Amino acid sequence: MKIGVISDLHIDRHKRLTPEDYTHELVNAIQKRKIELLLIAGDISNNYKLTHKFIYDVETQSHIKILFIPGNHDFWATDTDASSAEILDYYMNMEACLIGNPYHLNDSWAIVGNTGWYDYTYASPEFSLERIARRKYYGATWQDKVKIDWPMEDRKLSTIAAKQTIKDIEQVKHKHIILMTHIVTHPRFAVPMPHRIFDYFNAFIGTSDFDAIYQQYDIRYSIMGHVHFRNVFEEQGITYICSCLGYQREWRSDNIAQEINHALYTINI
């Protein structure tokens, strides 16, 4: 089976193109490359209804199954009638959402997914926890602070996300596992340091709470997003994939078809 992997589409952030343009181009790429199942590692949009509509539209037009996990942006609650916790509930009721709902691909493979959450451990050690918890640096505010209203602090959320992931993996632990998170779980995908801004903001990129999961279970592929890299590497039998489309300003060309084709990674199972 040919599985497509993509992340961080941010379909509502292009200056000129509409979400429908993103749907159209992604469906085109799926058909051209004969992808049979698509995995999206979060950050489709800044609004949960739009994120849901995009998944529905791509599924309906491509006639393939989509599995996803929400990213931090998909939880933004400022322009909606719902809290971030209610938005999580909404996603968990969607068939396409992997959280609490591992997917059996066949007799020997399963897909498990969770947003994960950042636990501040990727920041440079020069910053105290109190300094990072302010989520403000050089006049810039980490936008999740303003747009997300989780009822608990980030490090606790990261622990809960890792525990939920273990619970889900336990259901399929006799199989090879494709693990998908939004938050980065391998430090090689953090922004390289020293870096003027990301020595601080790497705090909100990754987590160390998943480390034990790689030791304990048969993870073969680990997919993540969030950091807007496009990169793949292998380490100790695990292929780590970061296949972000990212914002228009980060693209190398002005051609969405070319950018989607470049970001979209495929796995053959």
Residues contributing to the site for Fe ion (CB under 5 A): 43, 71-72, 226
- Tell me how far apart the alpha carbons of residues 84 and 71 are, in angstroms, rounded to a whole number: 12
Taking CB positions, which residue lies at the least distance from Fe ion? 226
Q: CB of 258: closest distance to Fe ion in angstroms?
A: 23
- Specify the residue, 179 or 184, whose C-beta has the smaller distance to Fe ion: 184
Q: CB of 31: closest distance to Fe ion in angstroms?
A: 27
Q: CB of 128: closest distance to Fe ion in angstroms?
A: 24
- Specify the residue, 7 or 121, whose C-beta has the smaller distance to Fe ion: 7
- Specify the residue, 172 or 224, whose C-beta has the smaller distance to Fe ion: 224
- Specify the residue, 102 or 116, whose C-beta has the smaller distance to Fe ion: 116
- Tell me how far apart the alpha carbons of residues 125 and 58 are, in angstroms, rounded to a whole number: 43
Q: CB of 163: closest distance to Fe ion in angstroms?
A: 21
**Which residues make Cβ contacts (< 8 Å) with residue 130, sequence separation at least 6?**
none
Q: CB of 61: closest distance to Fe ion in angstroms?
A: 25
**Which residues make Cβ contacts (< 8 Å) with residue 214, sequence separation at least 6?**
185, 222, 238
- Specify the residue, 226 or 230, whose C-beta has the smaller distance to Fe ion: 226
Give 252-257's long-range contacts (Cβ < 8 A, gap of 24+): 256/14, 256/17, 256/21, 256/22, 256/25, 257/25, 257/28, 257/29
Q: CB of 62: closest distance to Fe ion in angstroms?
A: 24
- Specify the residue, 71 or 206, whose C-beta has the smaller distance to Fe ion: 71
- Specify the residue, 19 or 71, whose C-beta has the smaller distance to Fe ion: 71
Q: CB of 8: closest distance to Fe ion in angstroms?
A: 6
